[in-house]
Homo-oligomer: A and B are copies of this chain.
């Protein structure tokens, strides 16, 4: 069919023939390595003919010859989670700036992402990986990923990582509540088993103890990262005999549940109950009153992780580690407790 012919693309050979030069000259010009190798005159002529013919170097041929691709993969648990979407956005920005493309690998519940990653690596289709919040099984050897991967929010002895200062963020949140005078602070935690949440939990306890308070079992409730479950969990917190005056939530999504449970119980936020979240995505400003929360700069995180990855390509060295600070954004969901008498 004529489509096939019409589509047949113009190659460096076509340009060379028409310009009356060698194919190497064309290649040199487009690789930007022509200086001192091809006369200015010839370069101009090559460019002119290329333009006329609509020539564009075939990137696939280039990749084969060079032995590496300009594609990195972002491996994430779920794009439809706004946090990961924001990370992806940052990754794409950084990648594009250096002429790399980002492919998405959405892992969802598939815990054997290592297989997918290794396949992509050994099939030479992917130059590097940003592994976001996915933890490798202990028994998988990831040394092949040295200089080819950056882990986000997870550490690994052999691989560079971009971490969040979860401890600092949690501490800021807890000290804000303690500073307001709260002494009965509950923890609405998630059931998700990840380092980042363990750190929140540990810091929550530490800060309570540091303030001379006890860690009460009935001041902790667990829920999946989903507002319905969070609401049910928050309800149990508000129903204990001596209810908390503040709730620290592992994630803004859980804060939604806290708001709904408070409303059910006839409690006003922040007068009767203070709520602090974690994330600061769209949710935090959607909630009324606006949520006080620990902001996680997801886009910056994705951007920086990608920059580290691309830098690791250049000069292999020791795994790079960087920690991104987190800030507490104080809004309208926190205030001093109404009756500090119950202390």
Contact = CB atoms under 8 A, between A and B. Distances in A.
A64 interface: yes
A165 B9 CA distance: 38
Nearest to A73: B101
Nearest to A63: B60
A55 to B, nearest CB: 9
Interface residues of A, number: 50
Contacts of A119: 56
Interface string A75-96: 0001110100110110011001
Nearest to A55: B122
Interface stretch (A19-27, A192-200, A284-292): A284-292
B287 A286 contact: yes
Nearest to A101: B103
Given A3-B316, A60-B60, A106 B79 contact: no
Contacts of A64: 58, 60-61, 64
Contacts of A105: 92, 101
Q: Which of A73, A85, A86 has the most CB of B within 10 A?
A: A85
A167 interface: no
A88 B79 contact: yes
A11 to B, nearest CB: 10
Contact of A286 (B71, B124, B227): B227
Contacts of A285: 227, 256
A86 B81 CA distance: 9
A69 interface: yes
Contacts of A125: 59-60, 70, 101
Contacts of A63: 60
B86 A80 contact: yes
A102 interface: yes
A122 B56 contact: yes
> Which of A54, A227, A286, A288 is most buried by chain B, counting CB atoms within 10 A of its CB?
A286
A140 interface: no
A35 B204 CA distance: 62
Contact of A88 (B9, B73, B104, B282): B104
A295 to B, nearest CB: 15
A93 B106 contact: yes
A104 B302 CA distance: 14
A17 to B, nearest CB: 19
Contacts of A88: 79, 85, 104
A92 B71 contact: no
Interface of A: 3, 9, 54, 56-61, 63-64, 69-71, 73, 78-80, 82, 85-86, 88-89, 92-93, 96, 101-106, 119, 122-125, 227, 256, 259-260, 263, 282-283, 285-288, 299, 316
Among all A-B residue pairs, the 8 with the closest Cβ atoms: A85-B85, A56-B122, A59-B125, A101-B103, A59-B123, A79-B89, A60-B63, A60-B64
Given A60-B60, A71-B103, A79-B79, 9 more contacts: A57-B123, A59-B123, A64-B64, A73-B101, A82-B282, A89-B106, A256-B286, A263-B288, A286-B286
